[in-house]
Amino acid sequence: MQLTILGNSSGGPFHGRHYTAQVLQVENHTFLIDCGEGTQMQIFKYRVKVDACNQIFISHLHGDHVFGLIGLLTNWSHKKRSQPLHIFSPPGLQELIETTIRVCGIKPSYEIVFQVVDPSVSTKIFENAKVEVWTIPLHHRSPTSGWLFREKVKPRNIRPEKIEAYNIHFSAIPAIKAGGDFDLPDGRVISNAELTVDPPIPLSYAFCSDTTFSEAVIEVVHGVDLLYHEATFIEENAREAIISFHSTAAQAAEVARRAGVKRLILGHISGRYADTAQHLAEARAVFENVEIAEEGGRWEVEGDRPPFLLRQLDTTSKHEMHLTHKEFKMGEKDKNEAAKFVRISKFISQILRHRPEKIGLQLDEQGWAKVDELLEKSAAKGTHFDRALLQIVVDTNDKKRFVFSEDGLRVRASQGHSIDIDLGLKPQKPPETLWHGTAEKSLESIRKEGLRSMRRQHVHLSKDRQTAENVGRRHGKAVVLTVCTGEMARQKHKFYLSENGVWLTEEVPVEFLDFPE
């Protein structure tokens, strides 16, 4: 489960902040939560994929939470979207959208289904195979609903040693993971309790904006892994919070403390505050595990530790990064230099990962090449570049494919080798779930054989779905497979984490893959 913050502002786009919008990824399912003005700009800025989103959840009809919606809906129509879209909200949104569509002459290419919720109670309003969504009654000036996302219970995990002990055929495993016992040929019945262990505890995320301090919220969000709670004001302005039906940072922290959540993130910050230091200080005096929901932050929710900030998304494009280097600018007038850079990068990748012999280069056992030797032998074979350009290739590669040694005298590829080298990586425990991006044309063979390393040493797995989708797109129409890596590890499959954050394993049998619906 991953949460990306697109906007965290209240009232206006002040101090570089933007109106409320978030994207929640639960395995292969994408959910958009609120859609304030400018949401599309934030989506493009942080390169977040939302076109596969089929459900949008709007908390209430105040402009800073909804005025970006009509633009997004129109954009999808321009892209000839055909998949129906379900929008959940308190009453009134359908009238707003349909009136705008009529007045502006918009002709949607897809069906928009408006799902009206009752914001005064907590009830389940959506579910699919992986997750269910509940309303959270919030107390604001207009009817407002929060949203509680809970994963469904996964199948039980079979004990690998029991498969061998009882000679359990592969075809019987799904029924056992679903809770069934196992019948032996001699008539004995092996109980499921002996054969399996409990699955991971389902993950949960709660979104609460806008609202005053509420006992009802505490009850509904009890024990969630990650809570987003509005913190429009600090204590100095507590009276204004009461008048405007908002919360202070300390009140949000009190909700988190009494609800026993694992981590709290604060948002919906008033434009009167240039920074959020005071919000954070007042909240941490009440509840320790609290952060600001900074825009571009991608939060990872895992079962074995509190939610954590996976990374702050980089908004700098490749072109912008290259423009910062005086020796290599990628402006419109420098297309030849840009082409040269791409060619050099691909050349280095081929040499360090696949064919060092092409230039007579000798890598050591761990894949390291001497920088001076790489430059000299490349030039001897007609490919000229200097240390400065090599430094740019290493520093600006968006996948961090290359790395220098600590003394800067050697360089190597971080992963992806087809030649036999030992990166010196030690086995590590993977997350419960990772992702693999591939092309639609490869699905048939994967369904039969699983994921194999083919010409490479390892199968490559991504730590988030968006990265996997980007990888898959390089090979054709992208398809993202969910990999049950936690279960694989329990069945003694080994995993390694490369220096550039790619998870590696020798193979992924088909029984550990979840294919898109």
Positions annotated as catalytic residues are 64
Length, in residues, of the chain = 517
Q: Contact, 10 vs 269, CB < 8 A?
A: yes
Phi, then psi, of 412 in degrees rounded to 5:
-155, 165
φ and ψ at residue 516, rounded to 5 degrees: -60, 150
CA 94 to chain centre: 30
Cβ burial, residue 77 (10 Å; 0-12/13-18/19+): middle
Q: What is the dihedral of CA 393, 397, 401, 407, to 10 degrees?
A: 50
In the block, which residue shows the tokens 């055909």?
A: 82
Query: HSE (CB half, 13 Å, CA atoms) of 352?
Result: 30
In the sheet that holds 145-151, the strands lie side by side as 124-127, 131-137, 145-151, 204-208, 226-230, 263-267, 290-292
- Provide DSSP, 214-266: -HHHHHHTTT-SEEEEE--B-GGGHHHHHHHT--BHHHHHHHHHHHT-SEEEE
Strands 55-57 and 29-35, sheet pairing: parallel
Q: What's the one-letter identity of residue 422?
A: D
By CB atoms closer than 10 A (0-12, 13-18, 19+), residue 316 is exposed
DSSP string for residues in 31-48: EEEEE-TTHHHHHHHTT-
Report the C-alpha gap between 23 and 379 in whole angstroms: 48
Q: Are strands 496-497 and 503-505 parallel, antiparallel or unpaired?
A: antiparallel
